Chains A and B, each alone.
Chain A
Amino acid sequence: MDPRAGRTATTCFVVSSTEYQSTPCPRCAKVAHVDKRALGDRIAQAREAAGMTQGGLGEAVGLDRTAITRLEKGERKLSAHELVAVAEALGRPMSYFVSAPVPAVVSRRSDTSHAHETTRALDVELQGFASDIQILMEMRLLTGHERAGDVKTPRDHTVAEQVAQEVRQKLSLGDAPVRDLGAVCERLGLHTFSASLGAAGPDGGCVEVGDATACLGAAVINGDTPAGRRRMTLTHELGHWLFGDAYDVQASSDSERMINSFAIHFLAPRAGIRTVWDQYGELPVRDQALAIGASFRLSWSAVIAQLKNVGFINDGEYRDLNEYEPRSGDYLRLGISWDEELKSPYVSPGFAAACLNGYVSGRLTGHRVIELLRGTLAAGDLPHQDPPSRDSLRTAFAGHGGG
């Protein structure tokens, strides 16, 4: 018998499947591809976003205009070399063109109030970020969570406040302000990318990646909006993620309002507000509100709405406070300030750590890690990569009948 026949390969793994692939592959339904038509659409979108004509793109990659036209219609096969050239010419990572479609967006804030172009920009970022999280899970650089199926979208404000308190308790946050919201969301399985979507762009969106036994959330928020709004948006997406309302058949149009209610109570709990309110008790109401805003890092509209919700100000005071949006000098005058948390570009720390650990261990290339980190780290700032160790040779001895 030939000694090679029947031997065991050193690196065989259990096959698993994913839920959402457009073109299942024959072997284990693991690789999901876009099809030629979807690839053509993505090329056309990226070309238009880059302000290039079909002729201009063709010139840049060595194809004639008709070839680009057919490519964008999904009528032409594309070689690996050509797609690399197209990606380089359009300034996009290759993953933008070839990553599999993500499932339906769980939530997309402000989608009805913005032009198609801006929501499309959000969808593109969601697609890319969710796809990257999926890959990092497959590489076991990120670990999925089991979805808790018992938390539903609150049906009234009282329940929303109660759920917010429960989540805070689970995280041992007490009543204090949440200092690093991106890290806090990651403790609940939601990773964040703060993208540049324009000051008037959509606020954010959220996608679920994986399946019920091992899943993570991917949130993209608009990092060009004011700091308080960014935090509110991310907490809103956290609500969608926790409640899984895409799967809640009883969720209604009121869900958005209830998730906002959860979000404000999570960011600024009643007891926490009381503490700060009392701390600045000698100041006028407006200055007390400013202190609340700075402490809990809320937008002005969120501050005064929450103060009214919890009964610290009445309708008249609310109207008065709503007349004048404070400027940064108003906060500085009181000797208080806040940092620019979640400003674009930003990726949450656990996501960044997964990417960098993948690089240090040699499982991800430096070029790819820089892409994954989305402008938050320069190539020169990458940590030193571990050289292969002698222990890495152990796999070479596997399957030969030794110890």
Chain B
Amino acid sequence: MVVAEQHRWVMDTSTYTHLCRAGHSDIIRSLAPAGVVLIPTDVSTEIETGRDRYSDIPSVSSIDWAEVAVLTEEEVWTQLEVKAQMGGQSVEHLGECAVIACAYHRKLIAILDDRAALAQAERLHVCTYDTMWIVIEAFKHLYGRDKNRTAQVVDDLLTTGMYLPVDSGESIMSWAYEEGLLP
């Protein structure tokens, strides 16, 4: 299957690690255009750090639905420019900045959760999705609009410690239904 390059995903640590730890990495494999997401080297490094604490996170090299992206010199400049706006100590935010830079130059879609990173992506007119968007995409295209199954994914994400402004998967699905947000 040929997928337009601009639909490909370049993913940050948060989505990768939380979906993996929640046991739902298959969602990424199934939904990512061409079945593969790009992982910048700085994100890969952060994932490896996460693996020190959580053994259920696979390394990027061990899976077939992700590949490492090495930033070009131009992309590194943009990464630095975004890092300057994100602030933070040492290597903090370098992964998110790499995702934004990679998506910006290669015209890809950045998968990000951090609000400050999303604001920087917006500033650079980079298209973004977040983890919850992917879950709702799964609801629509993978789960046959099964709310319970989708709610379970959200609950599993909450169990990993992922911050979401909801108490449970059921509550978000009910809220979205009441608000007319569900397809």
Contacts and interface: CB of A to CB of B under 8 A. Distances in A.
B80 interface: yes
B107 interface: yes
Interface stretch (A119-127, A240-248, A289-297, A392-400): A392-400
Nearest to B179: A403
Contacts of B86: 365, 368
A396 B104 contact: no
B87 to A, nearest CB: 3
A220 to B, nearest CB: 19
A83 B80 contact: yes
A396 B141 contact: no
Interface string B105-148: 10101000001101101111111111011011101110000000
A135 B123 contact: yes
A367 to B, nearest CB: 4
Nearest to B114: A362
A390 B1 CA distance: 37
Contacts of B161: none
A9 B182 contact: no
B183 A401 contact: yes
Interface string B66-81: 0000000110111111
B1 A93 contact: no
A393 B172 contact: yes
A393 B166 contact: yes
Contact of B84 (A77, A94, A366, A390): A94
A10 B128 contact: yes
B42 interface: yes
Contacts of B4: 5
A27 interface: yes
A4 B109 CA distance: 13
Q: Give the interface residue-count category, chain A.
A: 35 or more
A98 B80 contact: yes
Given A5-B3, A98-B81, A135-B123, A403 B181 contact: yes
A99 B83 CA distance: 11
Contacts of A79: 76
Given A4-B7, A94-B83, A393-B132, A400 B105 contact: no
A80 interface: yes
A31 interface: yes
A292 B166 CA distance: 61
B90 interface: yes
Nearest to A399: B133
B17 to A, nearest CB: 18
A11 B90 contact: no
B3 A80 contact: no
Interface residues of B, number: 67
B80 A80 contact: yes
B132 A396 contact: yes
B124 A30 contact: yes
Contacts of A83: 80
Interface string A81-100: 10111001000011101110
Contacts of B172: 390, 393
Given A25-B104, A363-B116, A390-B165, A396 B88 contact: no
A13 B116 contact: no
A321 interface: no
Nearest to A135: B85
A15 interface: yes
A4 B129 contact: no
Contacts of A395: 130, 133
Contacts of B183: 400-402
A241 to B, nearest CB: 25
Nearest to A362: B115
Contacts of B90: 81, 84-85, 88
A23 B76 CA distance: 14
A120 B164 CA distance: 47
A311 interface: no
Contacts of B27: none
Contacts of B136: 396-397, 400
Interface of B: 1, 3-4, 7, 31, 33, 42, 73-74, 76-81, 83-94, 97-98, 104-105, 107, 109, 115-116, 118-119, 121-130, 132-133, 135-137, 139-141, 163-166, 172, 175-176, 179-183
The 7 closest A-B pairs by CB, nearest first: A403-B180, A368-B87, A362-B115, A9-B127, A367-B87, A396-B132, A401-B183
23 contacts: A4-B31, A4-B33, A5-B4, A9-B128, A10-B133, A12-B127, A23-B77, A31-B78, A31-B81, A31-B124, A84-B91, A85-B90, A88-B89, A98-B84, A361-B115, A389-B165, A390-B175, A393-B176, A397-B182, A400-B137, A400-B182, A403-B181, A403-B182
